[in-house]
């Protein structure tokens, strides 16, 4: 090293064991620091299971960095650009796409598997207030926006 | 894992207070990890406006 390289960076994709993305990212960082590799940043988005994204100047640097890292399986052929992965950097609120009146199914927590109608959407707190279908008395409950799956967008429109 | 994220600067830290901004406003509910190694030449660092190499969370609740 010593020479200041101004080569443009590209994004390389490394396949990992599922659920080991964060540990792989940490270990690649250590290995890059130890071997003075030109790796600039590592991205492990939760949406991308089984892969980590690495910003580096050349694929050889990435190849060398993952040699000693367990759970890092292979460098995916080819490269990507910053533009293609920039949507990972600005995560959209989890309640996006959930509208009032929509039919949802709760995917975790004590009401897992229950179907409900959305009464209110709180974008700031990323929470939604729903009423369960199977409840005898309609009780509004507030749950997190990422623990639901939308079954039908808007009841009124389809009726 | 006891890794928490500072709500002020989005750093992933171990401990009760953020060593950089001194804030104790932490959250264990975060997603998406970014490790910035070379902020000078990293395009990702520029996009998320980071100037110090560290580990960051993309989203903190």
ipTM of the complex: 0.88
| Closest residue, chain A, to B32 (C-alpha) | A45
Question: In terms of C-beta distances under 8 Å and separation of at least 24 residues, what long-range contacts does B12-21 make, across chains too?
Answer: B12/B54, B12/B55, B12/B56, B12/B57, B20/B52, B20/B54
Q: How many CB atoms lie within 10 A of CB A151?
A: 11
Residue A116 confidence (pLDDT) = 94
Question: CA angle, B42 as apex, B38 and B46 as ends, to 5°?
Answer: 115
Identity of the residue in A6, A40, A91 whose CB atom sits nearest the CB atom of B38: A40
Q: Is A41:A57 a contact under the CB 8 Å cutoff?
A: no
Run of H or E residues at A116:
strand A115-122
| Closest residue, chain B, to A92 (C-alpha) | B59
Nearest to A52 by CA among A32, A8, A131: A32
pTM (2 decimals)? 0.77
- The predicted-structure confidence for B13-50, as pLDDT tens digits, reads as follows 888 888 888 888 888 888 889 999 998 888 888 888 88
Residue B38 to residue A82, Cβ atoms within 8 A: no
| Length of chain B, in residues | 61
Question: What's the token pair of residue B52?
Answer: 């110090």
How do the domains of chain B map onto residue ranges?
A: 4-60
> What's the CATH number of domain B4-60, 2.20.28.90, 3.40.140.10, 3.30.70.930, 1.10.150.120?
2.20.28.90
Nearest to A5 by CA among A45, A58, A50: A58
Q: Sheet containing B30-36: give its strands across.
A: A72-75, A10-16, A51-56, A39-44, B30-36, B54-60
A29 contacts on B by Cβ (under 8 Å): 35, 37, 55
Is B18 annotated as a binding-site member? yes
Run of H or E residues at B30:
strand B30-36
Residue B1 confidence (pLDDT) = 54
Instruction: Mark the ranges of chain A whose per-residue pLDDT is less than 50.
Output: 1-4, 158-159
């Amino acid at each position: 090293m010593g020479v200041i390289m101004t080569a443009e960076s590209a994004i390389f994709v490394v396949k990992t064991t599922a659920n080991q993305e964060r540990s792989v990212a940490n270990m690649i960082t250590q290995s890059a620091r130890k071997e003075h590799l030109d790796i600039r940043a590592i991205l492990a988005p939760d949406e991308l299971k089984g892969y980590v994204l690495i910003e580096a100047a050349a694929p050889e640097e990435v190849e060398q960095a993952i040699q000693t890292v367990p759970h890092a399986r292979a460098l995916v052929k080819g490269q990507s650009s910053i533009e293609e992965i920039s949507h990972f950097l600005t995560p959209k609120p989890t309640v996006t796409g959930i509208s009032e009146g929509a039919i949802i199914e709760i995917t975790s927590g004590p009401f897992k598997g229950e179907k409900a109608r959305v009464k209110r959407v709180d974008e700031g707190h990323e929470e939604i207030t729903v009423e369960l279908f199977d409840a005898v008395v309609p009780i509004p409950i507030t749950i997190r926006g990422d623990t639901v799956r939308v079954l039908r967008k808007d009841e009124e429109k389809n009726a | 894992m006891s890794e928490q994220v500072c709500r002020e600067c989005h750093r992933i830290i171990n401990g009760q207070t953020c060593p950089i901004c001194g804030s104790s406003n932490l959250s264990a509910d975060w997603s998406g990890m970014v490790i910035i190694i070379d902020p000078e030449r990293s395009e990702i660092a520029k996009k998320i406006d980071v100037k110090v190499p560290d580990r960051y969370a993309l989203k903190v609740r």
